[in-house]
Structure 1
Amino acid sequence: MKKANQLNKKWLGAGILAALAASVCCITPILAILGGLGGVASTFSWLEPLRPYLIGLTIIVLGIAWYKTLKPQKEEIDCNCEEDDKKSYINSKSFLLIITVVSALLIAFPYYAGIFVPKQETKEVLIVNQQDIVKLKFIINDMTCSACEGHINHNISELEGVIKVNTSYKVKQSIVEFDTTKTSVEDIKKAVDETGYTVSEYKKTE
């Protein structure tokens, strides 16, 4: 009887964990928006520099799993107790395929995370005096993807008097246009702090 292909559960577990760790810094902001988890959003931002290595580790681990699964097995005479292993779904190619697809989706999450961010509703702000309207650029560190942008935009736009907010993780900034009689710089900084990120500085912008 041929010995059934055995998938090493520890290797598969390591592959999934590595794939999850590669994108967890972009998953937590989505959870924060949808579940109101607040400051957990930037908890895993320190993993971002390790992302290429974690992706590489995932590919290596899954590659080993596929190699062990697809390589020809030698004919062996063994007891009937192996029949149960042969039928085990967790040791099948189908299960490994599912693990591979899930890992790929986790790794690619930063590229489609934006679809999970709720769209900002257009707010009507009554402007009494145009001189009270200012536009400031807030420098915000540790953002890693569009999910981070969405989380910060969501929190700031909830403030009364905010006319427009546009955040970019690529240039590490958020440009906010607001009415100073209704919202202050400190209010905006606090809204950012509640997401888990921090404003390092701010200045006027055109």
Structure 2
Amino acid sequence: MKSENKIIGAGMLTAITASLCCITPVLALIAGTSGIASTFSWLDPLRPYLIGLTILALGFAWYQKLFPKETDTEKEIDCECATEEKRKFIQTKTFLGIATLFAATMISFPHYSHIFYPKPEKEVVIVKESNIQKVEFKIDGMTCASCAEHVQHDVNKLPGIIVATASYDNKNAVVEFDNSRTSLADIQKAIDGTGYKVIETNIK
């Protein structure tokens, strides 16, 4: 039973590790420490392997639970018609089910992480067309939708931002803003402050 618990524990641990790169930006938002958002972005290339290990570990745990191997001691007990001791909760199918659900929640975190980011309240202002500027920032370090949401959130806090859209697929953020109220340097500073780095700037 100890080995089974270790397998379940390993499955849960790899599930958490697989999504650390996406969980950290949300934790950074909650803690108000934007700079730590990219701390675990180096784990992203390992994510498919960690997910595979999670599935293997929990799959094996379920196999052991559904098709238990009867030991000689258990056979003797069955022959003597002894009453089986009540299993601890950690050894039950219910616990394994909870562990599996937890792992699935962790692995799928990037798909629903955006719900943790509040939508910024935009003040309605009249902007002169001559003051509107559109810039693309190429960004290094974003690995999932949670990273992009974090960049968008911090850029949108600046005054004069009209539209800010970040994409981890394109590794960029496209920002339309009123250059009389904020500057290109301010936007780059906000992006760099998240822990992800602007590597190129293209004025549209």
Q: TM-score range by the shorter chain?
A: 0.7 to 0.9
Matches within 5 A, 1:78-89: 83=85, 86-89=86-89
Take 2:63 and 2:90, find their aligned partners in 1: how far apart are those partners? 16
* Greater CA drift, 179-188 or 68-77: 68-77
Matches within 5 A, 1:57-136: 57-74=53-70, 75-77=74-76, 83=85, 86-127=86-127, 129-136=128-135
Find the counterpart in structure 1 of residue 13 from structure 2: 17
Take 2:119 and 2:160, find their aligned partners in 1: how far apart are those partners? 18
Q: Deviations over 1:12-70 (max 9, x none)?
A: 22111110111111111112223312111111111111111001000111112112212
Take 2:180 and 2:124, find their aligned partners in 1: how far apart are those partners? 16
* Greater CA drift, 112-121 or 194-203: 112-121
Is residue 15–residue 50 contact of structure 2 (8 Å, CA) maintained in 1? Answer: yes
Take 1:110 and 1:100, find their aligned partners in 2: how far apart are those partners? 17
* Greater CA drift, 149-158 or 115-124: 115-124
Find the counterpart in structure 1 of residue 178 from structure 2: 179
Q: For structure 1, list consecutive stretches of 5 or more residues without a partner in the other structure.
A: none
| Superposition deviation, residue 178 in structure 1 | 1.4
Provide the TM-score with structure 2 as the length reference. 0.88
Q: Deviations over 1:84-109 (max 9, x none)?
A: xx421101111001001110111111
Take 2:132 and 2:62, find their aligned partners in 1: how far apart are those partners? 60
Q: CA RMSD of the aligned region, Å?
A: 1.9
- Letter paired with 1:116: F
Q: For structure 2, list consecutive stretches of 5 or more residues without a partner in the other structure.
A: none
